[in-house]
Each structure stands twice: as structure tokens, then as C-alpha cells.
Amino acid sequence: MQPKSDLRVRKTKQALVSAMFTLLTRTPFPKITVNDLCAQALVSRSAFYAHFLDKYDLMLYSLNQLREQWFEQARTRSVQEQLRHILGSIRQDSRMFENLLLAEYDGELVALLRKGFLEQLEQREQGSGLPHPRDISALFYAAGIAGAIMQWISTGMAYSVADMTACLSALLPGPDAEQA
């Protein structure tokens, strides 16, 4: 059984992450203040600073939480299903992702996408279908997927989720390419 303080810490952090993402749907990151975050999350400034150094620290934590949420079911989904899931989430929260790009958080977004897809590609049937050395091949595909998604966001998501999923899946080796 975990102590009550752990539950309070998790709830406070989750409230702040939710506040960050909510505010990003309507406000560019540079204009978001700690006061805005605290008001949205219904927490005090002292509670904020007990958990995070500043809004940038919260942003990095929030992006990591997003990666975990996106890839939590990666073991049970094909790469194609995972792509469709992530692209759909990005499309649904397009304003938030556009504000992240405007705030120059594209490097962090690329890193979280690359890391998630890299782990999924390396775990998928022990990397079957990937040319040897598999770790380099998985990195190549993960970086390409991440870069294509970032390009898609930065150009206003001109293609549908289905078109993006089909295109990216077709570029992958193995069974995920055949499903596209």
C-alpha cells in the first residue's frame, strides 16, 4: 500500500500536466505563466514549486507523460495501429501541438516519438523484418516516423490520419507494411 502523500503527489502532478495541456490548446507556451498553470490546476504556487523547478520542467515532465500514455499499449498494437492512434491524438489536439512547435519544443516532440517507436520496433518480434544491425535499423525507422509526423504537424496536417498511417506503414519492413 502506498502512503497517502504519494497519492497527493500523483494527483497534483497530474492536475498540473492536465492544466499545461489544456492551456496549450488556447495559449502559446511562452505566454503561459506559473500562475496560469496553478489557477487551471487548482493548486498553489508552493505546491507547483514543490514538484517542478519552472514551467519548462513541467513541460518536459508533461511530454514524458504523453509518451507513456501514447505507447502504454504498444506491446498489444501493431506499429500501424500505434501510428493511427498517435496521429489521431495529434489531430484531435492539433492546436496544442501547433503551440508546442511555435514554442520550439519540436526537438522534445521528435525525441519522445523517436524513443517510443524505437522501443516498439526493437521489441516487435525481436526486431523481425528489420535489417541487421537491428538497433540501427530500428533507430532509422523510428527517426523517420518521428520526422514525418513533425513535418505533418508543421504543415497544418494537410493529409488525413488514414493517408499518413498508410504511407508510414508502407515504408516499414515486415508485417506492418503488408497491412497498410
- Give pLDDT, residue 118: 84
Record the pTM: 0.83
Gap between the Cα atoms of 48 and 54, Å rounded: 8
- Give pLDDT, residue 100: 85
CA nearest to 76, candidates 120, 127, 126: 120
- Give pLDDT, residue 20: 96
Domains of the chain: 1-72 (1.10.357.10), 73-180 (no CATH)
Gap between the Cα atoms of 68 and 24, Å rounded: 19
- Give pLDDT, residue 1: 47
- Give pLDDT, residue 17: 97
pLDDT block averages, 10 residues each, the chain of length 180: 71 96 93 96 96 95 91 80 92 90 81 85 67 84 90 93 94 59
- Burial tier of 76 (Cβ tally within 10 Å: 0-12, 13-18, 19+): exposed
User: CB–CB of 123/75 below 8 Å?
Assistant: yes
- Give pLDDT, residue 174: 65
